[in-house]
Amino acid sequence: MSSKKVVLTASLLSAMLTACGGAGGDAITPANTPTPTAAPTATPAPVTAQGIWKESHTDASNSNSLEETAAVLLENGTAITLAWSNGTLNDLNITNYNYANQSLSFSSTFEADPLASMTLSSLSLSGAVSSQGLTLRETGASSGLTLNAVGSTPAKISDVVGTYTGKSYAGAGPTYLNVTDGFKVLSDGSIVDNAVTSCRFSGQLTPSTKMNAFTFTLTFNPSGCVLNGQTVTGIAFKEPFRNKLVAFGANAAKTQGLYFEGSK
């Protein structure tokens, strides 16, 4: 082999070794594998006491008895709870509540037994709100009742406009307001009687901006009614079991309650 070929061959070999990192050249550094970015932790939706809540179960001691409870906690700090047994109303509570720092408390709570009397009596009620629901417990009760949230959109007066018939509870027993003759909810939320009985009244529904419920006021004429000359304030909503319009409130002194249920 000629010396010229040896030189060319050696030069070619040297270039190949250099390109491949050999013959003392720098080694090829493998690319760094990127560290996977952890998926962001989902932030749970804030728990709130505001809303419409419900629960139903079969009585443990009577399999033929269906117990239903509904509660409305409005954004203005007022609340009502209602309970039915086999569709018959048997307990009513009206109260004020405060929910702050995940702590729920009630004050000025009053109870009525609509099958006996709508005279209100003081009641001690406690509660809690968690991701499991709204838990209510009367003082002295061995256990509480946990209700589930009912999803709803803000109330609209247009959804409840019309003439209603049904039944009411006030005074010493059922019926004082002859609602079988009807009353009307007008497009501006006004409540008017149908001028059929001697008990005349008028009032107003105001929609909640947070849920499908309303506050209401109802003022009675000075004569002809159980609540003569008094004004009742409370909460109205479509109850979640039979979709009836129900309303429960109390007079200013919190001594007498008024309940209505009915449909158009």
Read off the pLDDT of residues 85-122 as tens digits, 9 standing for 90 and up: 999 999 999 999 999 887 899 999 999 998 888 999 99
Q: Which pLDDT score is estimated for 217?
A: 97
Q: Which pLDDT score is estimated for 174?
A: 53
182 against 15, higher pLDDT: 182
pLDDT in tens, 157-215: 999 999 998 888 887 655 545 455 678 999 999 999 887 777 888 999 999 999 999 99
Helix (H) / strand (E) element for 173: namely strand 173-174
Q: Which pLDDT score is estimated for 34?
A: 64
pTM score: 0.80
pLDDT in tens, 129-149: 988 899 999 887 878 899 999
Q: How far apart (Å, rounded) are the C-alpha atoms in residues 70 and 239? A: 7
